[in-house]
Amino acid sequence: MNVLVINCGSSSLKYQLINSDTEAVLAKGLCERIGIDGRLVYQKTGLDKEITEAAMPTHKQAIQLVLDALVNPNTGAIANLSEIEAVGHRVVHGGEKFATSTVLTDEVIAAIEECNDLAPLHNPANLIGIRACQELMPNVPMVAVFDTAFHQTMPDVAYMYGLPYEYYEKYGVRRYGFHGTSHSFVSKRAAEIVGKNYEDLKIIVCHLGNGASICAVDHGKSVDTSMGLTPLEGLIMGTRSGDVDPSILDFIAQKENLTLPQVMNVLNKKSGVEGISGVSSDFRDIEAAAKEGNKRAALAQQTFAYRVIKYVGAYAAAMNGVDVICFTAGLGENDCKIREMVMNNLGYLGVEVNAEVNNATRGKEAVISTADSKVTCLAIPTNEELAICRETVALV
Ligand code: ADP
């Protein structure tokens, strides 16, 4: 079955056409600057990437351009649109309504709409993509795959904040967690790699990308995760602060004469390793600057790793042990230095690093701990699109 996987943002849209039988990507790309001017990136597997400046005032027009590219007689991946048998949509927030992926119906769309409040930047954009696809492919079954769904197994002690209970009852203020598709995909793969039952393992997944989160997966279920009501909580990220003392918001607002939305903007877009280093949000730039002696760049790296170390410790405690620790996403898959900084601090758990393998591992699966290590450490490339494809196929 060919599945079109769509990840729709407010002004961009990523897509992959995947054959679910072989799990091969037939074509992929993205639409950028939707509603501004428009650029289509399209790549059929095996051919060069094509970049076309093309007007796309709306998401529907952007998706139409993607569909046209997919059936282009010269470079298309399929002969006609009937070969797209299902569409899988990434949806950021499913609130407490969605604990699993769900076939899209009018009722489901209305329920997703009710979660818009919780993710005002993401859910409305996801819904625009869903509606545009439905208009262009009215007879194709579509599935919503939620970033939050995997974490709906968290117990109340993990998801409650120490706030008046009525905020939870009235507004749904609680921890939801994100990157669920990735945490689920990577933890399942980890069980395969170590050759044990998923339901018998205590796994910690460190999803370290521009956005970063950690998840404790106990016997196949997410029991805690570092992102919260929104993706701002937890680890120090590219430009996001992660955990801060909430009093800082008021303090900075007064000192810098900023409104609350302006302070939130600083926490989301001007903080994290970029804020600490003053260099960049990209760890490759930070690493280069640190090597040249930039102290703030080195501090950003160390602070990032320190926060990861603390969360791993917290989740080992939450699960009363850990069997497997996984590193994934841009940094987790590629940055052996950050992985080493983290693993070197986990000796108390019985972690022994295989430095040679760790140093040689970039963008591929590997066991990066020694054979004697009490906890197995793994680098595992995440693949959220493939996970969405699998979920979609399972439901249609
Ligand atoms: P997101 O999907 O959240 O945007 P990614 O998972 O793509 O993020 O991760 C992006 C980050 O991964 C980059 O900011 C960069 O810091 C880091 N990264 C990617 N490749 C490498 C690499 N080869 N070495 C070190 N860091 C890398």
Averaged pLDDT of the chain = 96
Q: Which amino acid is at 42?
A: Y
Strand partners, 208: 212
Q: Would the pLDDT of 10 be above 90?
A: no
Instruction: Tell me the per-residue pLDDT of 52-61, one tens digit each, with 9 for 90 and over.
Output: 999 999 999 9
- Verify whether ligand 1 is closer than 6 Å to residue 12 (CB atom): no
Query: Distance (Å, rounded) from C-alpha 336 to C-alpha 361?
Result: 7
Q: What is the mean pLDDT of residues 260-268?
A: 96
- Verify whether ligand 1 is closer than 6 Å to residue 329 (CB atom): yes
Residue 209 to residues 178, 304, 334, Cα–Cα distance (Å): 13, 12, 10
Query: Distance (Å, rounded) from C-alpha 207 to C-alpha 339?
Result: 12
Q: Would the pLDDT of 170 be above 90?
A: yes
- Verify whether ligand 1 is closer than 6 Å to residue 211 (CB atom): yes
Residue 317 banded pLDDT, cuts 50, 70, 90? very high
pLDDT for residue 206 = 98
Share of the chain above pLDDT 70, in %: 100
**Is 147 an annotated catalytic residue?**
yes
pLDDT for residue 120 = 86
Residue 211 Cα to ligand 1 midpoint, Å, equals: 9
- Verify whether ligand 1 is closer than 6 Å to residue 282 (CB atom): yes
- Verify whether ligand 1 is closer than 6 Å to residue 9 (CB atom): no
Kindly report the protein residue whose alpha carbon is nearest to atom 1 of ligand 1.
210
Q: What is the mean pLDDT of residues 366-380?
A: 98
Instruction: Tell me the per-residue pLDDT of 88-110, one tens digit each, with 9 for 90 and over.
Output: 999 999 999 999 999 999 999 99
Residue 347 banded pLDDT, cuts 50, 70, 90? very high
pLDDT for residue 230 = 94
Q: Which amino acid is at 294?
A: N
The number of CA neighbours under 13 Å toward the Cβ of 165 is 2
Instruction: Tell me the per-residue pLDDT of 134-167, one tens digit each, with 9 for 90 and over.
Output: 999 999 999 999 999 999 999 999 999 999 999 9
Query: Distance (Å, rounded) from C-alpha 351 to C-alpha 263?
Result: 39
Q: Would the pLDDT of 131 be above 90?
A: yes
Residues in contact with 241: Cβ distance below 8 Å, sequence separation at least 6, in sequence order: 232, 267, 268, 271, 272, 275
pLDDT for residue 342 = 98
Q: What is the mean pLDDT of residues 303-324?
A: 98
Q: Of residues 37, 106, 147, 218, which has the active-site annotation?
A: 147
Ligand 1 site-directed mutation target among 326, 331, 362, most atoms within 8 Å of CB: 331
Kindly report the protein residue whose alpha carbon is nearest to atom 7 of ligand 1.
330
Q: Would the pLDDT of 121 be above 90?
A: no
Select from 276, 269, 284 the least CA-distant residue to 306: 276
Select from 146, 148, 190, 193 the least CA-distant residue to 172: 148
Pairing of strands 212-218, 221-225: antiparallel
Ligand 1 site-directed mutation target among 284, 336, 380, most atoms within 8 Å of CB: 284
Residue 281 to residues 31, 81, 206, Cα–Cα distance (Å): 23, 40, 18
Kindly report the protein residue whose alpha carbon is nearest to atom 22 of ligand 1.
334
Residue 172 Cα to ligand 1 midpoint, Å, equals: 32
- Verify whether ligand 1 is closer than 6 Å to residue 231 (CB atom): no
Q: Is the pTM of this model over 0.85?
A: yes
Select from 264, 286, 289 the least CA-distant residue to 274: 286
Q: Would the pLDDT of 9 be above 90?
A: no
Kindly report the protein residue whose alpha carbon is nearest to atom 4 of ligand 1.
210
Q: What is the mean pLDDT of residues 118-133?
A: 92
